[in-house]
Structure 1
Amino acid sequence: MATSNAAAEVDLTESHAVEVNVVAWVFTGIAIATVALKLAARQIVNRVGWDDFFIFFSLGLSIIAAAFVSHSVTLGLGKHTAAVIAEHGMERVTLTSYWQILGYPFNIGSFSFPNISIAILINNLLDPNPLRARLLIGMSILQVVIAMVSVFLIFLQCRPTRALWDHTIATADCWPQSVLYDFSYWVSAYTTVTDIVLAAVPISVFWKLQMRRSTKLAVCVMMGLTLLSAVVTVVKATYLPLFTDAEDPLYNVTPLVIWGLIEQNVVIVAACIPTLRPFFRRAFESTKGSSANDNKTSSTRGRSGSAFKLSSNPTHSGGSKRMPSVSEIPLEETGHGHGHSHEHEHDGYGYGYDVERGSSSSQRGIWQTREVIVESFQEAGETERERERRQIVPANLR
């Protein structure tokens, strides 16, 4: 056997077992934490949609895949095959390969279904466009279908199927390895293209809008995180031939397993990040407390010619919010050519931008106390699309 011949040429104490386990649970833990934050954000806005369902489903698949891999590590995955044979016999190698292969369908599903969630989210954020919506959803669904076909190819390539994990079966009839390799490369290529499209479409729309460059860049980065998933998919594709490695199957396959674990969790995190804004906004507001409001009011009173920040944050009860009555706003002087007006708009999401007219250092003008009532989106009768967009994209983007 090739494994026995190579036993004397390798250090049997070498092992990637710890590395595989650390990657499996660190990245899965990050995905769990991100999805938990997403759930908290959805509770704040009191809305759960189909995009959330696909993310929760993908996370479940990711946890199962990590559990299968972790169990395989306890059996011998990551160690040299010859070392496992010497310590436990060939039966342990077969058992380890069995549990490792069982984890692949869950891995493939966990990095495929989040793309449907991302497509739904993009369609909710951008202006209605039936053709674009059908193309994005259709592309994402097709990616899932192609990925699922690869699962069937994995388990149908050998007769009997047991030959996939039991390399002692000499009479096994298997397809040429090029069949699975070629289709796996096709899956990786199509997945990469889908990730790029799902990043490019919202970026191309948001980048053309008139807004502060820092705000524009932040939103584009947030919506373009699927590009990171595309990079991971390309890296993983370089290790695809290791899936059918027969020389040292338990040791040589570990790079493919590791990058598969990274891929399945990175895409879940990328799909969740754009929806976390309500949670962090609520957390930031709670840390500021009443002292921040006092400082804000005293600062407004103490500076001549400064503008008051308007905030459109809804109250916890979902009703209208009464703004502070000390909003002193300088009115623009007219007829002299040296008036100065300064407006500061705030979208309620932590973004703000200044609009200035005139060019004079004079701050003289008529001061007026203005009371502003801002209605929350619950009372404004906004649609689900507008509510979704309000939670992620600043008002000056819409």
Structure 2
Amino acid sequence: MGRNSHSAVILTVSWIETCIGLFIFSLRFLSNWKFVGRFRWDFALAGLTVATETIAQVFLQLSVNAGMGRHLNDLLKSQIVTALHWSWVFQLLAITASMLGKLAILAFLVQIRGRHEKKPWFLIILGFLIGAINTTVLGTILGQCKPMNKLWDDSVEGTCNPGRKVNQNYSFFQASFNTLSDVLLAVYPVHLFWKLQMKLRIKVVLSILMGLGWIAAVCSAVKTYELKALTETTDITYAQSHLLIWASTEAWIVIMVGCIPPIRPLMDKVLQRLGFTSKKKSTPYQYYESSGHAAYGTNKSNLASHSNFQSNAYGGRKKPSEDDNPGWMELGTFGGTNGSEEHIVNGPKGVTIRTDIETRFEDVERHSGPSSGDSSISAKYPIRGRI
């Protein structure tokens, strides 16, 4: 690898992050498939993010194979050109992946707010700024040298002034904004969950899960500092090593932060299997004869606490209508004070939705003849709102 080479460090860190990121995303896929039963547009954005960053990792590997991370004096001219070429491709894709990952988190937050809330203008404006600012930096990178291929081949006639300095200044602004956006995405869920009627422990857990964006903010801040390598020309293949590592780290951390909260249903199931948590006991149905007297017990059953409902809530065979769903089900439901379960997202006007079911089985008077098909089932679904 040569003297004081960073090549091994670049590959070790980036591939470990890639494997962890792909594993966490596969858990999200499994959670959506097995328990949620649906794939919304926030999942699609997350999938596009993972695909983009995985492709970026391939180009980072090609760049390191050509000599990235090694000193310029230890490389041939052809190695330098190839290493820088693939390095810039990696950086463009890593920036795109980081942008898409933030938009996926935004989409997730929009989903869990519920459809009955006011239009999320804060999230919409933030999403627009994330898209616009990060897309613009792609242009400043590609346009900093004329002709473009002088960006990776300094022997080509042309100039990179003042484009290289303009790109560095704008990249500092773009990276600083990304740090701010990560902080906002970490703080917003705390504000969202703290308004809901649920136990303090649940608020804290959800706020921590959704507040992991602080980690992404730290990575983005470090990457901002490492942007000083953009103006390094004397030993560019060695100087960009830390920048490439943090570019990879930022993108994968954003992916992981966006995928951890949605895998809560899967984690609940795993913890139940391991015996760390217990399953909620469903209350027996109340059966009635045609006279109206209870025949098999007198306990009422709450729809949200029954196992059949639980499977539907996480996307069973018979899924509830999306239009009737008061909140996004991927985060699950939580036990209420009277045995029913409450959605973590408020209904219209801050009302917490509680759904109870009372099922009655009514048999028609038995006659001497055959009576197949002479039974009917009626169910009541009272909806209670608690302010």
TM category, shorter = 0.7 to 0.9
Q: Secondary structure at the match of 2:260?
A: helix
Which stretch has the larger CA shift, 66-75 or 174-183? Answer: 174-183
Equivalent residue letter for 1:250: T
Rounded Cα–Cα distance in structure 2 between residues aligned with 1:68 and 1:78: 14
| 1:15 matched residue in structure 2 | 5
Q: 1:217 and 2:157 equivalent?
A: no
TM-score with structure 2 setting the length: 0.74
How far off its partner does 1:390 sit?
5.7
Rounded Cα–Cα distance in structure 2 between residues aligned with 1:25 and 1:116: 24
Equivalent residue letter for 2:30: A
Rounded Cα–Cα distance in structure 2 between residues aligned with 1:104 and 1:393: 41
Cα distance 1:158–1:211, how it changes in 2: closer, same or farther (>3 A)? same
Q: 1:46 and 2:33 equivalent?
A: no
8 Å CA contact 2:84, 2:237 repeated in 1: yes
How far off its partner does 1:250 sit?
0.7
| 1:75 matched residue in structure 2 | 66
Equivalent residue letter for 1:388: W
Q: 2:23 aligns with which of 6, 22, 33?
A: 33
| 2:227 matched residue in structure 1 | 240
- CA-to-partner distance for each residue in 1:305-334, whole Å, 9 max, x for gaps? xxxx8446xxxxxxxx858xxxxxxxxxxx
Equivalent residue letter for 2:142: F
Cα distance 1:149–1:387, how it changes in 2: closer, same or farther (>3 A)? same
How far off its partner does 1:246 sit?
0.4
Q: 1:66 aligns with which of 57, 61, 76?
A: 57
* Pairing 1:150-189 to 2, within 5 Å after superposition: 150-169=137-156, 171-189=158-176
* Pairing 1:377-388 to 2, within 5 Å after superposition: 378=312, 381=320, 383=322, 386=326, 388=328
Equivalent residue letter for 1:80: H
How far off its partner does 1:174 sit?
3.1
- CA-to-partner distance for each residue in 1:326-352, whole Å, 9 max, x for gaps? xxxxxxxxxxxxxxxxxxxxxxxxxxx
| 1:334 matched residue in structure 2 | none
Rounded Cα–Cα distance in structure 1 between residues aligned with 2:257 and 2:48: 15
Rounded Cα–Cα distance in structure 2 between residues aligned with 1:113 and 1:138: 15
- CA-to-partner distance for each residue in 1:343-375, whole Å, 9 max, x for gaps? xxxxxxxxxxxxxxxxxxxxxxxxx98464636
8 Å CA contact 1:274, 1:392 repeated in 2: no
TM-score with structure 1 setting the length: 0.72
Q: 1:196 and 2:183 equivalent?
A: yes
Rounded Cα–Cα distance in structure 1 between residues aligned with 2:197 and 2:39: 31
8 Å CA contact 2:32, 2:39 repeated in 1: yes
Equivalent residue letter for 2:208: V
Q: 1:376 and 2:321 equivalent?
A: no
| 2:368 matched residue in structure 1 | none
Rounded Cα–Cα distance in structure 1 between residues aligned with 2:333 and 2:77: 57
Q: Secondary structure at the match of 1:174?
A: coil
Q: Secondary structure at the match of 2:328?
A: helix
Rounded Cα–Cα distance in structure 2 between residues aligned with 1:197 and 1:104: 24
8 Å CA contact 1:23, 1:258 repeated in 2: yes
Equivalent residue letter for 2:177: Y
Q: Secondary structure at the match of 1:168?
A: coil
Rounded Cα–Cα distance in structure 1 between residues aligned with 2:281 and 2:327: 17
How far off its partner does 1:198 sit?
1.8
- CA-to-partner distance for each residue in 1:53-108, whole Å, 9 max, x for gaps? 00000001111111111111111111111112xxxx21211111111111111101
Count of matched residue pairs: 317
8 Å CA contact 1:80, 1:250 repeated in 2: yes
How far off its partner does 1:12 sit?
5.5
Cα distance 1:15–1:383, how it changes in 2: closer, same or farther (>3 A)? same
How far off its partner does 1:118 sit?
1.3
| 1:359 matched residue in structure 2 | none
| 1:276 matched residue in structure 2 | 263
RMSD: 2.9
8 Å CA contact 1:65, 1:107 repeated in 2: yes
8 Å CA contact 1:120, 1:137 repeated in 2: no
Rounded Cα–Cα distance in structure 2 between residues aligned with 1:191 and 1:173: 26
Rounded Cα–Cα distance in structure 1 between residues aligned with 2:332 and 2:186: 15
Rounded Cα–Cα distance in structure 2 between residues aligned with 1:287 and 1:235: 39
Equivalent residue letter for 1:39: F
Task: List alignment gaps of at least 5 residues for structure 1.
Answer: 1-10, 297-308, 313-320, 324-367
Rounded Cα–Cα distance in structure 2 between residues aligned with 1:167 and 1:207: 55
Rounded Cα–Cα distance in structure 2 between residues aligned with 1:205 and 1:115: 18
Rounded Cα–Cα distance in structure 1 between residues aligned with 2:33 and 2:142: 41
How far off its partner does 1:156 sit?
1.0
| 1:352 matched residue in structure 2 | none
Task: List alignment gaps of at least 5 residues for structure 2.
Answer: 286-296, 313-317, 335-340, 346-387
| 1:336 matched residue in structure 2 | none
